[in-house]
Amino acid sequence: MFYLGWIFLWLVTGERIKGFNISGCSTKKYLWTYSAKSEEEFVLFCDLSDPQISYSHHRNPLSSSQALTSLPCSGNKDLSDVQWYLQPQNGDTLRKITKNYSHIIMDNITLHFLTNDVNNAGSYVCRPKIRSLQDEACCIKMVLEVKPKTNISCVNSVPHKRYLLLGSTDSIYCPSLGCQSDTHSPEVTWYQNGRLLSDKRSNPMLLDEIYDYHQGIYACDYTQSDNASSWIVRAVVQVKTIVKDTTLKPDILEPVKDTLEVELGKPLTLYCTARFGFENGFKPVIRWYSKDSDQQLEISTEGRSVKTTFKDKILECVVRLKEVTQSDFHKTFICFAQNSIGNTTQSIRLRKKKKVIFLYILLGTIMTLVGVLMAGVLLFMYWIELVLLCRTYQDKDETVGDKKEFDAFVSYAKCCSFESEATSSVSEENLALNLFPEVLENKYGYTLCLAERDVTPGGVYAEDIVSVIRKSRRGIFILSPNYVNGPSVFELQAAVNLALDDQTLKLILIKFSSFQEPESLPHFVRKALRVLPTVTWRGLKSVPLNSRFWTQMLYLMPVKKLTWNHLRISQKFFHWKDSVKQKPLRRASSLRHGDMDPETPPSLSWQVKTLVARTHNVDQADLKWTVCCQP
């Protein structure tokens, strides 16, 4: 379908060209006189915007066919995109000018002729590519006649290439008027890159001050008539704006170093890059030489222009070696650059690269970095375990000589612990009176201070608590809503006050459950809750000895020299822990006469009796008064 569309378009276009009537086009006649020895160019402009103004001064009353009328192009919006057609001088049919013409270049409204030949003669027609049916007559027909110059003495009088120095004052001469005197010089119309210069009518065209925008292709037209007809004689001048010639030698940009490490047997490319200042009429020289002993030879190279500006030009010369041989290490490669001022050289020698396996070095570096990173992560994750491991092999005991009786004082909510018995298999009281003694005392050899066990009844409660805290190295506080809102928070306040004066007393907070700080809590206690080390209790997950809870507790406890008896794991403790998960405690009636549960470790008999008594309705009120409200 795509090819059918192209065929249809080609047929329609061919019909339109075949039916294109050029008799209605505005007609101009141009004469191109050239010299066979000169390399001059010629251009035609398709000026559809306002042709009557552009060519009104060329009218000749002797030739009625040359009179121009206004073209019907006023309604066409885009007059810069045009199509060119050629009708050869031999009368062949009109055909499009495409890119297949090697001697003609189309550049929008400009048609460039690269060669001067009489075969370029013919009729050239241009019209807009996009047009309406009413604009069929919107076209210009240019009849071109090409003739060689007959006056040999005036062939090279005016060049077709003109160099203008930036910032100076200069003139541009029309080459076709080089043999005529100023008195007989006709009126000239000048164009720059297809644009009419309406204020320039004389030859030469004077430029007050040269700028870079003066560069381009200039065309000069004047009318030449005889008895039969008149022609527009056109000549083209290529103008280039330049700066003053340089006074410096070339500057070699590459190579920079005088040695280059290469591998034997590998291909090699050497670049010689140099900057040349502007010089009018001098061609820069850049090449490579190889010097071996006393012999210097030029190397076959590839050259190209890298960058060109008004002031300078950067050229590059490349030499390619298929493989580096042993003899290349004894040669000196010389980059050579020369202009009219002088020459500059830069030498470079090849040096054999050491056989270092870069990939292994890279992999080793990456592996080292990964190892350091992993070691840092492991150290961060298991820092506590590493500290405990070091303590095991260190002969250190910080409790020696401190004159303290207890390793840790344990504080918990004593009044309301029975409320949590129904909802949790391990309560605050169970943790403080059963688990802590069994693990910290029986397994690891720490001495705990429990108010129910180690404080003698009958004394002043506040003074007794302050006294046992003074005798302790650590303070363990089991925090919960019942604790921070109950009377037991007094023990935390007293411990914070004592820790400010006693540097050996350190406090450990256990977050048993979430709570909100009451407004009545002193400011220094609130601050202590934010800065003191806190261990989170996670229910049954924290009961096993290998849990994170016990690891953190051991890390915060005092450093002691443990014995092998303290390192043994009590099988009875684990059996009792499983029984707590599977079945409830027996009623107090079975233990009231001092009988001990065979599943409970002997060291926990008093605590378990108290716990069971709390769960019994008869003794509940009496026990609460005994624990919480004694004077």
Tokens at 253, concatenated: 């940009």
* Residue 131: HSE in the Cβ half-sphere, 13 Å Cα cutoff: 21
Q: Are 384 and 551 in contact, with CB atoms under 8 Å apart? A: yes
Left (φ > 0), alpha (ψ -120 to 50) or beta: where does 458 sit? left
Measured at the CA of 79, the angle between CA 75 and CA 84, to 5 degrees, comes to: 125
Is residue 463 annotated as part of the catalytic site, yes or no?
no
152: DSSP letter: G
Residue 249's closest CA among 358, 338, 124? 338
How far, in Å, CA of 141 to CA of 25, rounded? 6
Beta bridge pairs of residue 222: 233
How far, in Å, CA of 453 to CA of 589, rounded? 22
Distances (CA, A) of 547 to 432, 509, 541: 17, 17, 7
Give residue 394's identity as a one-letter amino acid code: Q
Please give the backbone phi and psi of residue 469, each rounded to the nearest 5 degrees, phi first: -65, -40
Tokens at 232, concatenated: 């527009």
CB under 8 Å to 473, separation ≥6 — which residues? 399, 402, 404, 406, 407, 408, 504, 505, 506, 558
Beta bridge pairs of residue 298: 289
**Pairing of β 110-113 and β 104-107:** antiparallel
Place of tokens 């035609």: 44
Please give the backbone phi and psi of residue 10, each rounded to the nearest 5 degrees, phi first: -65, -40
Q: Are 570 and 442 in contact, with CB atoms under 8 Å apart? A: yes
Catalytic residue (choose from 209, 491, 517, 599): 491
Q: Return the CA Rg of the chain.
A: 54
DSSP string, 245-289: PP-S--EEEE--SSEEEE-TTS-EEEEEEEEEE--TT---EEEEE
Catalytic residues: 491
